[in-house]
Structure 1
């Protein structure tokens, strides 16, 4: 695959490629989530202490358990769940060393941190910005395929187009989106 294909590939596609042994696909998944996960750990621990170790442990678990990922759910939620569980395990290990009256003094929240919410909002805003710059037909295809998660066959049926036409147009829409993103990064 070319770099542009990895950049515009959705998480489910990258996960499938990684399962098939494509290490570059897993690197792109790691690159998409590592900073947000690290910030999660730093924020919850009140400093960077063991954040890098927890980040590494999280992505080792992601890699080892990739075959358990269910594409019916978003990859990001799955990774965050593993990260939260890794953090809970870390807190439990630390608390085993504390006297009984000091254990569980710090509640662990599963709600998104303010930083996670801002990151999610920024990513959505960026994607919407680039989607708005696509022609209407391409925008519709991208939304149907990657946001509404319709299969190619479902899109073809809903739009009354041949399957080959849908695949070609989605490919062109992804290429156009990739070019827009690349141009946007140069500014």
Structure 2
């Protein structure tokens, strides 16, 4: 279970995360990772280990992109748990739909969250960030996101596009990059944090260099 953290510490951590501090994101991840994985691993979901890892990573992607939507009307732990459960429900519905169609390989588990497209001007619509009801990418923000992507290192750009544009499963990414699945997960975490830093700075009107 996530360690207790008081409101002031939460607010300070959120502020530092939104400023793009790597150490703050690392602390955020270390505080809430076990609780997120614990929820996703509940027996009632019956997810495979591979799907559990995918969902955990995507929960933190939603948190990275949607943390600014946190209004403090609940504890941060409650907010994280709500997003995690929503993500699990979406994944379960997707798996149920696939089973009914009898074609498990035709659709990824996400709730049509990241449509394959090479045009990043189009909005990619993650499922709820605890129900702020706003997509991470609004149409007018598309150019900023694409510009942010371009400022990532080649290694980061490659893995982010593989996962969230091409919608490749973790195992296939690992095979293409000749690395373990665990390396894919940790690299994605670092790259998404970097993307968030660049995006937040560019959205605020700063010039960001690699």
Scaled by the length of structure 1, the TM-score of the pair is 0.46
Structure with higher Rg: it is: 1
Question: Structure 2-normalised TM-score?
Answer: 0.41
More helix by share: 1
